[in-house]
A and B are shown apart, each in its own frame.
Chain A
Amino acid sequence: MTAALQVEALVKRYRPDRQPAVDGLTFTMPRGATWGLLGGNGAGKTTTIAMLLGLLKPSSGRILALGHDMARDRFAALARMNFSSPYIALPHRLTVAENLRVYGHLYGVERLEARIIELAEELNLSDLLARPAGELSAGQKTRVALAKSLINKPDLLLLDEPTASLDPDTADQMRGWLERYRAISGCAILLASHNMAEVERLCGHVLMLRRGVVVDHGAPAELIARYGRDNLEEVFLDIARAPHEVAAP
């Protein structure tokens, strides 16, 4: 079976006179896995996710998403992927149901109305379907964004800060939904997050980015043990504040 994501020597240089935002990123993420992409601000997480989604062209390197070369055949991969970020909005004046319908059509979802009802029930959105997305609270909007990202039952899900701005209860529910969806569907999930507790709970493997380079990687428990720390947050701070050898994932 092909990997969910195979990334080879990925480089993104926005300007020739500047340091690359991503510099030689290489990893292979298996299907059904949940991986975390960690790093401070400017580490290259957003640039990496944008390249994985085809929103940004790499300067060099190769991305195979679900076996499709993103440089030549990205739309075949995109139909089986999805994405959620609190920083990209859904149209505010459309109702929740209309928003889901739009994306259901864009992703060619079969039996769309039944899928919308199914998602609404799973994510407690049934009472919100007729409400404009712009009138929802931050937590409700995040649930709608998650519903949008699951509308096509993706095989590969990319999440940027999936629980940012959520209260602890809603964030916990969100993580529960993600865990359930992965268990049922076998979907691979790559998430960028600053919430280390979330990463420890959800991710089987973590890539630590610093200045566009993977400076370390491994299972959260492995990293915690290797750095002699109590939790991933302390590992993150160690890595963010001190220079490290570049590891090859």
Chain B
Amino acid sequence: MMRRIWGLMYRHLALYRRSMPRLIELMYWPILQMVVWGFITAYLAGEQNNVASAAAGVLLGGVLLWEAALRSQMGFSLSFLEEMWSRNLGHIFVSPLRPRELVLALMALALARTLVAVLPAMVLAWALYGFNILNLGPALVGFFAALVIMGWAVALGVTSLILRFGQGAEALAWSVLFGITPFAAVFYPVSVLPAWLQPVAYALPAAHVFEGMRAALLEGRFDAGHMAAAFALDALWLAFMGWVFLSQLEASRDRGALLNIGE
């Protein structure tokens, strides 16, 4: 099993090993986001009083952590799309690679791409704006993991739509998580949202992560409730999207869509 998962990972990592532009492309958007938001928060912080500094930290923390979800989702979806674009899916689906192994390989690739993308932005936030995300303490690992898992779940949904609708659904790989941003409470608390939207926000793991992040940065406390809720929702979303993906894969085998996907 590990051998087959590594086989698919190697197919993608071999490309990155040789291609500096691909590596730079991974880091480009998180760094750009960090630079733009860093200057915005520096401007808003103005006189650098305590309240403004804390708010700036919340914004930068939000940017950095949300990038983890974005890169995780895109890393998974784009790795799948690359197989489709290179017309290689046929070979993969007739190999002994099980669907769950395909998913695990795409998850591992997404995690690797996320780390390469987000770590330089974290260093930059510290170097340019004096914001050290490690101040979140051990909870940072939990926040990061919860968002990466949410990215995987959303990507499974996107991949299912690609299997169902073919290349017409490709654009979702880039846009879907941006559509969730307003409800994810990345930059503001859930309480800011209208009452009827708040349950929607709380159904997303991200909203709990960012409420927990604000509690840590603004109040210096660890909110175990939000952390537990984030992981519980992750488990639910991942199980549901995994089921949708496997169902769509079987439906594609039935329709014959795997014969010409990507063409």
Q: Contacts of A54 on B, CB cut-off 8 Å?
A: 93-94, 253
The interface residues of chain A lying within 8 Å CB-to-CB of B19 are: 93
Q: How many chain-B residues does the 8 Å CB contact rule pick out?
A: 29
- Of A56, A92, A103, A104, most B-chain CB atoms within 10 Å: A56
A-B contacts, CB under 8 A, total: 89
In the complex, what residues of B have CB within 8 A of residue A46's CB?
A: 259
Is B123 in contact with chain A by the CB < 8 A criterion?
A: no
Asked whether, in the complex, the Cβ of A106 is within 8 Å of the Cβ of B259, the reply is: no
Stretch at the interface among A25-33, A78-86, A135-143, A171-179: A78-86
**B129 to nearest A CB, angstroms?**
37
**Contact pattern, B 161-185, Cβ under 8 Å of A = 1, otherwise 0:** 0000000000000000000000000
Distance in angstroms between the alpha carbons of A107 and B94 in the assembled complex: 10
Mask for A32-62, Cβ within 8 A of B = 1, else 0? 0000000000000011001001111100000
B119 to chain A, nearest CB (A): 25
**Roughly how many angstroms separate A102 CA and B10 CA in the complex, as a whole number?**
7
**Chain B residue at smallest Cβ distance from A47:** B256
Residue in contact with A75 in the complex, picked from B7, B88, B91, B96, CB distance below 8 Å: B96
Contact of B96 among A78, A89, A93 (CB under 8 A): A78
Kindly state whether residue A180 has any CB partner on chain B within 8 Å.
no
Q: Is B97 an interface residue (CB 8 A)?
A: yes
Instruction: Take A55-B90, A75-B96, A78-B94 as given contacts and tell me if A105 and B6 are in contact as well, using a CB distance cutoff of 8 Å.
Output: yes
- Report B68-106 CB contacts with A as 1/0, cut-off 8 Å: 000000000000000000111011111111100000000
- Name the CB-closest residue of A to B18: A93
Partner of B91, one of A50, A56, A90, A93: A90
- Measured between alpha carbons, how far is A78 from B98 in the docked complex, in Å? 10
Chain A: how many interface residues by the 8 Å CB criterion? 33
B86→A91 contact, CB < 8 A: yes
Interfacial chain B residues near A93, Cβ < 8 Å: 15, 19, 86
Q: Chain B contacts of A91 at CB under 8 A?
A: 11, 86, 88
Closest partner residue, chain B, to A59 (CB atom): B254
Question: When chains A and B are docked, how far (Å) is the Cα of A217 from the Cα of B62?
Answer: 68
Q: Does A242 sit at the interface, judged by CB under 8 A?
A: no
A14 on interface, CB distance cutoff 8 Å = yes
* A106, B4: Cβ atoms closer than 8 Å: yes
Q: Please measure, in the bound complex, the distance between the C-alpha atom of A79 and the C-alpha atom of B90, giving whole angstroms.
A: 15
Given contacts A79-B96, A91-B86, A103-B91, contact A57 B253 (CB under 8 A): yes
Closest to B88 in A: A91
CB neighbours (8 Å) of A216 from chain B are none
Q: Are A98 and B14 in contact (CB under 8 A)?
A: yes
- 3 tightest A-B CB contacts, nearest first: A105-B7, A88-B90, A106-B7
16 A–B contacts, CB within 8 A, in A order: A14-B255, A79-B96, A85-B90, A88-B91, A91-B11, A92-B86, A94-B14, A101-B10, A102-B7, A102-B11, A103-B95, A105-B3, A105-B10, A106-B92, A106-B95, A148-B91
**Known contacts A93-B19, A93-B86, then 17 further A-B pairs from the complex at CB < 8 Å, ordered by chain A residue:** A12-B256, A46-B259, A54-B94, A54-B253, A55-B90, A55-B259, A57-B254, A83-B94, A85-B90, A88-B87, A91-B86, A91-B88, A94-B14, A102-B7, A105-B10, A106-B7, A108-B96
Residues in A lying within 8 Å of B, measured CB to CB: 12, 14, 46-47, 50, 53-57, 75, 78-79, 81, 83, 85, 88-94, 98, 101-108, 148
